[in-house]
Amino acid sequence: MKNLIVIISALFIGATTSGQILKPVTWSYAGKKTANKEGIIYMKAIIEPGWHIYSQQVAKGGPVKTGFTFNPSKAYKLVGSPQEPKPVTTFEKVFNMQVSYFSNSVIFQQKVQFTNSPVVVTGSIEYMACNDQKCLTPEEVDFSIPLK
């Protein structure tokens, strides 16, 4: 009976440690007022070593590109589309194509015009993290970014 308890305990402990969810990307957000009724929101991804996320520009048939959805609001309107720095572009065998991605960290920026201050810009980010061995299921994270 004692051996059975030890075996069950070992299996339970093993299942909890191997079942940990990988979270190689952490997002943070900031907003900055740049003029009377204008501002920029910043969406920063900190990416663990060995991992990367993809650019907003990925051809069909490739990995899930990073995408932004902004909730409609009468309080603000977007000016243009989210901007990103120059990504690394390389051929990835798994997708059999050239892909562009970011490692370590990346900051996306979105210009916003608003009617009254303060305003809160809300929405979500969809992205996929990969390393040399695997890709994780695409994730969606919500954001709420105040512009004061």
pLDDT score recorded for residue 19: 54
Tell which phi-psi region holds residue 104, choosing left (phi > 0), alpha (psi between -120 and 50) or beta.
Answer: left
- The domain spans of the chain are 23-147
Residues of the chain with pLDDT under 70: 1-20
Q: Is residue 89 within 8 Å of residue 114, measured between CB atoms? A: no
Q: Taking the domain 23-147, which CATH number applies?
A: 2.60.40.1250
Position 50 scores a pLDDT of: 96
> What are the tens digits of pLDDT across the range 132-142?
899 999 999 99
pLDDT, position 15: 41
Q: Given this model, what pLDDT does residue 7 score?
A: 37
